[in-house]
Amino acid sequence: MQILDWSVISGNLKLFLIISLVGLWLSAVVFRIAIRLFNALLVRGRHAQELVLEPTVINGIGIVLVCIVTNFMIIVVAYQFTSNSLATIESAEPYFPYIWTAFGVLGSIVLSALLSLLLPARFKHAFGVLFCSYLPSVLAGIASFLVCYFVVSNVLT
């Protein structure tokens, strides 16, 4: 018995499924690396009982998927709040970046609470793991900016 009949699924959907699975797997690997990084930073002068347990890759994929869905729901609520509730107040528009920043902080708190339940870990340790998981994204963003900058500057000159 086949679970998935590939002949029925279109090419674009196949590509989407494959890319999504590879992306989830890579995100789980980055998440596990973030836990290792946090544990390496935490272990200095601490006891081994305070370390965050590293999940398996399959559990990491599940945790990443739950965090993606939660983050998406927070973004939808923030968008609905800024587009519907405050759109009628014209004087509120300059404050939208601050409102989005507040939702970002709220999202970090919600994701940390969620991670503290899923890992299991203390809230402050889950917040540290979340912060360490942002570091590869920031480094990848800086690297892609530098590559694009040098490519564009060489093309234009």
**For residue 152, pLDDT beyond 80:** no
Count CA atoms within 13 Å of residue 70 on its CB side: 17
pLDDT, average across residues 12-31: 84
Higher pLDDT, 50 or 117: 117
pLDDT above 90: percentage of residues in the chain: 6
Query: 91-103 pLDDT, tens per residue?
Result: 666 777 787 888 8
> What does the pLDDT read at residue 69?
92
If you average pLDDT over every residue of the chain, what do you get?
80
Structure confidence at residue 49 as a pLDDT band (50, 70, 90): low
What span, in angstroms and rounded, lies between the C-alpha atoms of 54 and 63?
A: 12
Instruction: Dig out the tokens for 127 from the structure.
Output: 């917040």
Where helices occur in the chain by DSSP H, the ranges are: 11-42, 57-80, 96-118, 123-156
**For residue 8, pLDDT beyond 70:** no
Instruction: Dig out the tokens for 77 from the structure.
Output: 């609520």
What span, in angstroms and rounded, lies between the C-alpha atoms of 26 and 91?
A: 43
Lowest pLDDT segment from 12-16, 59-63, 113-117: 12-16
Higher pLDDT, 54 or 8: 54
Structure confidence at residue 46 as a pLDDT band (50, 70, 90): low
> What does the pLDDT read at residue 87?
58
Q: What is the pTM of this model?
A: 0.73
pLDDT, average across residues 33-42: 84
Instruction: Dig out the tokens for 139 from the structure.
Output: 């480094």
**For residue 1, pLDDT beyond 60:** no
